[in-house]
Chains A and B, each alone.
Chain A
Protein backbone atom coordinates (compact mmCIF):
# COMPACT_ATOMS: atom_id res chain seq x y z
CA UNK A 1 0.00 0.00 0.00
CA UNK A 2 2.72 2.39 -1.11
CA UNK A 3 1.56 5.99 -0.74
CA UNK A 4 4.62 7.49 -2.38
CA UNK A 5 6.27 7.20 -5.78
CA UNK A 6 10.00 7.66 -6.29
CA UNK A 7 12.31 7.05 -9.24
CA UNK A 8 14.21 3.79 -8.76
CA UNK A 9 17.62 5.36 -9.31
CA UNK A 10 19.44 8.65 -9.83
CA UNK A 11 23.01 9.77 -10.37
CA UNK A 12 24.72 12.88 -9.11
CA UNK A 13 28.22 14.31 -9.47
CA UNK A 14 30.22 14.79 -6.30
CA UNK A 15 29.98 18.35 -5.02
CA UNK A 16 26.77 19.09 -6.89
CA UNK A 17 23.29 19.30 -5.40
CA UNK A 18 21.25 16.12 -5.41
CA UNK A 19 17.52 16.68 -5.84
CA UNK A 20 15.42 13.62 -5.05
CA UNK A 21 11.73 13.83 -6.01
CA UNK A 22 8.78 12.12 -4.37
CA UNK A 23 5.12 12.07 -5.36
CA UNK A 24 2.49 11.63 -2.66
CA UNK A 25 -0.68 12.73 -4.41
CA UNK A 26 -3.02 11.05 -1.92
CA UNK A 27 -1.46 12.57 1.18
CA UNK A 28 -3.91 13.47 3.93
CA UNK A 29 -3.97 16.74 5.81
CA UNK A 30 -2.49 15.24 8.96
CA UNK A 31 0.27 13.26 7.25
CA UNK A 32 3.87 14.37 7.41
CA UNK A 33 6.52 13.67 4.81
CA UNK A 34 9.56 11.82 6.17
CA UNK A 35 12.84 11.06 4.47
CA UNK A 36 15.24 8.31 5.46
CA UNK A 37 18.28 6.87 3.81
CA UNK A 38 20.01 3.52 4.02
CA UNK A 39 23.68 3.21 3.29
CA UNK A 40 24.71 -0.27 2.24
CA UNK A 41 24.72 -2.78 5.12
CA UNK A 42 23.55 -0.20 7.66
CA UNK A 43 20.21 0.53 9.29
CA UNK A 44 18.07 3.30 7.83
CA UNK A 45 18.93 6.80 9.01
CA UNK A 46 16.43 9.57 9.65
CA UNK A 47 17.10 12.68 7.55
CA UNK A 48 14.26 15.17 7.86
CA UNK A 49 10.50 15.54 8.02
CA UNK A 50 7.90 18.24 7.36
CA UNK A 51 4.20 18.98 7.07
CA UNK A 52 3.81 21.87 4.65
CA UNK A 53 6.57 24.34 5.24
CA UNK A 54 10.02 23.87 3.81
CA UNK A 55 12.48 22.47 6.31
CA UNK A 56 16.25 22.52 6.58
CA UNK A 57 18.70 20.84 8.89
CA UNK A 58 22.38 20.03 8.86
CA UNK A 59 21.86 17.12 6.50
CA UNK A 60 19.38 18.32 3.91
CA UNK A 61 16.51 20.56 2.86
CA UNK A 62 12.94 19.44 2.25
CA UNK A 63 10.79 21.34 -0.21
CA UNK A 64 7.07 20.51 -0.16
CA UNK A 65 4.80 21.86 -2.89
CA UNK A 66 1.93 24.11 -1.90
CA UNK A 67 -0.66 21.43 -2.71
CA UNK A 68 1.48 18.93 -0.74
CA UNK A 69 1.23 16.36 -3.53
CA UNK A 70 4.97 16.17 -4.03
CA UNK A 71 8.24 17.01 -2.35
CA UNK A 72 11.96 17.20 -3.07
CA UNK A 73 14.83 16.28 -0.81
CA UNK A 74 17.91 18.36 -1.52
CA UNK A 75 21.42 17.39 -0.54
CA UNK A 76 23.22 20.67 -1.27
CA UNK A 77 26.75 19.32 -1.83
CA UNK A 78 26.64 15.59 -2.40
CA UNK A 79 29.64 13.50 -1.38
CA UNK A 80 30.52 9.89 -2.14
CA UNK A 81 29.28 8.99 1.34
CA UNK A 82 25.79 10.11 0.35
CA UNK A 83 25.46 7.12 -1.97
CA UNK A 84 22.48 5.28 -0.49
CA UNK A 85 18.85 4.30 -0.96
CA UNK A 86 16.60 7.24 -0.06
CA UNK A 87 13.09 6.56 1.18
CA UNK A 88 10.21 9.03 1.12
CA UNK A 89 7.41 8.10 3.53
CA UNK A 90 4.17 9.72 4.64
CA UNK A 91 3.07 9.25 8.20
CA UNK A 92 0.45 10.67 10.53
CA UNK A 93 1.25 12.36 13.79
CA UNK A 94 -0.99 11.72 16.72
CA UNK A 95 -3.58 9.01 17.02
CA UNK A 96 -2.48 5.42 17.38
CA UNK A 97 -0.70 4.79 14.11
CA UNK A 98 3.03 5.32 14.41
CA UNK A 99 4.05 2.93 11.69
CA UNK A 100 6.57 3.83 9.01
CA UNK A 101 5.97 1.85 5.84
CA UNK A 102 9.02 1.76 3.57
CA UNK A 103 8.69 1.48 -0.21
CA UNK A 104 11.49 0.69 -2.64
CA UNK A 105 13.10 4.13 -2.46
CA UNK A 106 15.59 5.78 -4.82
CA UNK A 107 19.13 4.52 -5.15
CA UNK A 108 21.27 7.65 -5.35
CA UNK A 109 24.74 7.09 -6.71
CA UNK A 110 27.19 9.95 -6.23
CA UNK A 111 29.96 9.76 -8.79
CA UNK A 112 33.47 11.24 -8.43
Chain B
Protein backbone atom coordinates (compact mmCIF):
# COMPACT_ATOMS: atom_id res chain seq x y z
CA UNK B 1 0.00 0.00 0.00
CA UNK B 2 1.63 3.24 -1.18
CA UNK B 3 -0.49 5.42 1.08
CA UNK B 4 -2.01 8.73 0.02
CA UNK B 5 -0.03 10.16 -2.86
CA UNK B 6 0.13 13.89 -3.48
CA UNK B 7 1.76 15.75 -6.32
CA UNK B 8 3.68 17.89 -6.75
CA UNK B 9 5.68 17.95 -3.50
CA UNK B 10 6.68 21.56 -4.07
CA UNK B 11 5.15 24.22 -6.29
CA UNK B 12 6.38 27.74 -6.85
CA UNK B 13 4.19 29.95 -8.98
CA UNK B 14 3.64 33.59 -9.73
CA UNK B 15 0.68 35.52 -8.45
CA UNK B 16 -2.26 35.26 -10.80
CA UNK B 17 -1.35 31.86 -12.17
CA UNK B 18 -3.54 28.77 -11.89
CA UNK B 19 -2.33 26.05 -9.55
CA UNK B 20 -3.56 22.45 -9.50
CA UNK B 21 -2.75 20.09 -6.66
CA UNK B 22 -3.38 16.38 -7.06
CA UNK B 23 -4.21 13.54 -4.71
CA UNK B 24 -4.57 9.79 -5.04
CA UNK B 25 -6.31 8.32 -1.98
CA UNK B 26 -5.87 4.83 -0.59
CA UNK B 27 -7.95 2.32 -2.50
CA UNK B 28 -11.16 1.46 -0.70
CA UNK B 29 -11.30 4.58 1.44
CA UNK B 30 -14.71 6.25 1.30
CA UNK B 31 -13.65 9.70 2.43
CA UNK B 32 -11.20 12.22 1.04
CA UNK B 33 -10.18 15.44 2.77
CA UNK B 34 -8.21 18.52 1.76
CA UNK B 35 -6.45 20.51 4.49
CA UNK B 36 -4.27 23.60 4.45
CA UNK B 37 -1.60 24.34 7.04
CA UNK B 38 0.02 27.68 7.83
CA UNK B 39 1.92 28.90 10.84
CA UNK B 40 -0.76 31.46 11.62
CA UNK B 41 -3.87 29.32 11.23
CA UNK B 42 -2.65 25.78 11.79
CA UNK B 43 -4.42 22.90 10.04
CA UNK B 44 -7.67 23.94 8.40
CA UNK B 45 -10.14 21.63 6.69
CA UNK B 46 -11.04 23.01 3.27
CA UNK B 47 -13.40 20.39 1.87
CA UNK B 48 -14.22 16.72 2.13
CA UNK B 49 -15.80 14.12 -0.12
CA UNK B 50 -17.71 10.92 0.56
CA UNK B 51 -17.88 8.43 -2.28
CA UNK B 52 -16.66 11.14 -4.67
CA UNK B 53 -19.42 13.59 -3.66
CA UNK B 54 -18.50 16.86 -1.93
CA UNK B 55 -20.10 16.87 1.52
CA UNK B 56 -18.80 20.01 3.20
CA UNK B 57 -16.94 22.81 1.45
CA UNK B 58 -17.50 25.42 4.14
CA UNK B 59 -13.76 25.71 4.69
CA UNK B 60 -12.97 26.73 1.13
CA UNK B 61 -11.76 30.30 1.60
CA UNK B 62 -12.95 31.89 -1.62
CA UNK B 63 -14.37 31.22 -5.05
CA UNK B 64 -10.79 31.10 -6.30
CA UNK B 65 -10.59 27.65 -4.73
CA UNK B 66 -12.28 24.62 -6.26
CA UNK B 67 -12.00 20.88 -5.70
CA UNK B 68 -13.13 17.92 -7.71
CA UNK B 69 -13.17 14.18 -7.33
CA UNK B 70 -14.01 12.69 -10.73
CA UNK B 71 -13.50 9.11 -9.52
CA UNK B 72 -12.58 7.15 -6.42
CA UNK B 73 -8.87 7.25 -7.15
CA UNK B 74 -8.22 10.90 -7.92
CA UNK B 75 -8.94 14.38 -6.61
CA UNK B 76 -7.73 17.87 -7.49
CA UNK B 77 -7.62 21.17 -5.65
CA UNK B 78 -7.38 24.15 -7.93
CA UNK B 79 -6.58 27.76 -7.13
CA UNK B 80 -7.29 30.32 -9.85
CA UNK B 81 -5.95 32.97 -9.69
CA UNK B 82 -3.37 32.28 -7.01
CA UNK B 83 -2.30 34.95 -4.49
CA UNK B 84 0.69 35.17 -2.13
CA UNK B 85 -1.58 34.56 0.88
CA UNK B 86 -2.37 31.12 -0.56
CA UNK B 87 1.18 30.04 0.26
CA UNK B 88 0.88 27.06 2.61
CA UNK B 89 1.28 23.31 2.83
CA UNK B 90 -1.76 21.54 1.41
CA UNK B 91 -2.51 18.06 2.69
CA UNK B 92 -4.81 15.43 1.29
CA UNK B 93 -6.09 12.64 3.54
CA UNK B 94 -8.32 9.62 3.05
CA UNK B 95 -10.25 7.47 5.47
CA UNK B 96 -12.52 4.48 5.64
CA UNK B 97 -15.75 5.00 7.54
CA UNK B 98 -15.33 5.62 11.28
CA UNK B 99 -11.61 5.26 11.44
CA UNK B 100 -8.47 7.34 11.42
CA UNK B 101 -7.30 9.40 8.50
CA UNK B 102 -4.16 8.68 6.49
CA UNK B 103 -2.50 11.86 5.34
CA UNK B 104 -0.28 12.37 2.33
CA UNK B 105 3.10 14.06 2.49
CA UNK B 106 1.66 17.38 1.42
CA UNK B 107 2.31 19.94 -1.30
CA UNK B 108 4.25 23.02 -0.28
CA UNK B 109 2.87 25.90 -2.34
CA UNK B 110 4.71 29.19 -2.66
CA UNK B 111 3.06 32.03 -4.56
CA UNK B 112 5.42 34.90 -5.35
Contacts and interface: CB of A to CB of B under 8 A. Distances in A.
Interface of A: 34, 36, 42-47, 49, 93-94, 96, 98-104
Main secondary structure, interface of A, reads: loop
A110 B36 CA distance: 27
A49 B50 contact: no
Contact of B45 (A43, A46, A47, A99): A99
Interface of B: 4, 31, 33, 35, 42-43, 45, 48, 50, 55-56, 91, 93, 95, 97-106
Main secondary structure, interface of B, reads: strand
B42 A99 contact: no
Contacts of B91: 43-44
Given A43-B93, A94-B98, A99 B104 contact: no
Nearest to B102: A46
A100 B98 contact: no
